[in-house]
Amino acid sequence: MADVYLDTLAGNGSERVDRASAANLYAKIEDGAIRTRMLTKHVREWLTHDDAAARTWLESNNTLTPDQAAALLAPIR
């Protein structure tokens, strides 16, 4: 249930913030497990819409570990 509320953190509809700003908001979640889960979900979706921007954010941000970032960038098999 908490994920439903966290999904709205970045806004919805016409009030939605850009994906980089949303990722920055998710990166500030204090609980590490929740932060990782929400960022992973968000970045995975972002990669399908704007791969270059999502990759740039991942490369410039150290919220996810290098292994977590690499897993997101690995081709889906």
Report the pLDDT value the prediction gives residue 24, as an integer from 0 to 100.
94
- 50 DSSP assignment: -
Structure tokens at 5: 């509320």
Reported as a single tens digit per residue, the pLDDT across 22-77 is 999 999 999 999 999 999 999 999 999 999 999 999 999 999 999 999 999 987 65
Residue 5 has pLDDT above 80, yes or no: no
pTM: 0.81
Residue 3 has pLDDT above 70, yes or no: no
Q: What gap in Å lies between CA 27 and CA 10, rounded to an integer?
A: 12
Alpha helices in 1-77 (DSSP H): 2-7, 19-27, 32-49, 51-60, 66-73
Higher pLDDT, 71 or 14: 71
Report the pLDDT value the prediction gives residue 1, as an integer from 0 to 100.
45
Q: Under 8 Å CB-to-CB from 28, ≥6 apart: which residues?
A: 35
